[in-house]
Amino acid sequence: AQKITQTQPGMFVQEKEAVTLDCTYDTSDPSYGLFWYKQPSSGEMIFLIYQGSYDQQNATEGRYSLNFQKARKSANLVISASQLGDSAMYFCAMREGGFGNEKLTFGTGTRLTIIP
Amino acid sequence: EAGVVQSPRYKIIEKKQPVAFWCNPISGHNTLYWYLQNLGQGPELLIRYENEEAVDDSQLPKDRFSAERLKGVDSTLKIQPAELGDSAVYLCASSLRQGLTDTQYFGPGTRLTVL
């Protein structure tokens, strides 16, 4: 079974609208971390937001928020007021286990295109 | 603060030739990672270093790939000999455990094309 599933290969969104990128994960470990990265055409993976499995509140970083639904094993990324510069590939990733298990498992990504 | 530096950014070689990639992590980051990213896929871990020690190299094809991290700072990933299927982006990342987070920060990658 895939550990990280991103079911949206591509999305087109009008500028200034909010967008939700889906991510579901599979793990039996009670301790894990979930990450979202942005990869523009330049190739660099840019860290956006982190959610720990024991965090009580959903993570937020500026225009980015993570809709963490633990029982459903989903960790969707929400981008508010989208901008043209948000056009990129977006990857969801998971670290299983506690510290000392820093291996990240990535999904296949979602290509987001913002339309002017 | 400078980010993760990688060189070269692009490399084109013929099959069976050797190739090397270099990575300089963020200052103070003791953990360094090499990832392989095939076209249309997410990155996959090749090797992880804690300081000078390779603590996870289970995904590294050791018949042709090798890596080193001398003095626990810079790292080099080598392929010898390269095969057509090695064409991909090679990403380096580094992290420092701070409190409850261990976020990995990535470099721009090296895009390898094997002809």
**Cα four-point dihedral sign A9, A10, A11, A15:** positive
> How many other C-beta atoms lie within 10 A of the C-beta of residue A110?
21
A101 vs A15, residue with greater confidence: A15
Does the pLDDT value for residue A97 go beyond 80?
A: no
Contact B43 A109 (CB under 8 A): no
**What are the residues whose beta carbons fall under 8 Å from the beta carbon of A33, sequence distance 6 or more?**
A50, A51, A52, A53, A94, A95, B101, B102
> How many other C-beta atoms lie within 10 A of the C-beta of residue B35?
25
Substitution target from A31, A90, A102 for chain B, most B beta carbons within 10 A: A102
Residues B76 and B92: beta-carbon distance below 8 Å: no
Chain A segment 57-116 residues within 8 A of B by beta carbon are: 91, 93, 95, 99, 102-104, 106-109
pLDDT under 70 in chain B at which residues? 1, 99-101
| pLDDT range class, residue A2, cuts 50, 70, 90 | confident
Residue B11 confidence (pLDDT): 97
Does the pLDDT value for residue A110 go beyond 70?
A: yes
In chain A, the residue whose alpha carbon lies closest to the alpha carbon of B89 is A43
Mean pLDDT on A38-55: 93
Q: Does A10 touch chain B (CB under 8 A)?
A: no
CA distance B30 to B14: 34
Write out chain B residues lying below 8 Å of A25, CB-based.
Answer: none
DSSP string, B24-48: E--TT--EEEEEEE-TTS--EEEEE
For the ranges A28-32, A57-61, A79-83, B108-112, the lowest mean pLDDT is seen at A28-32
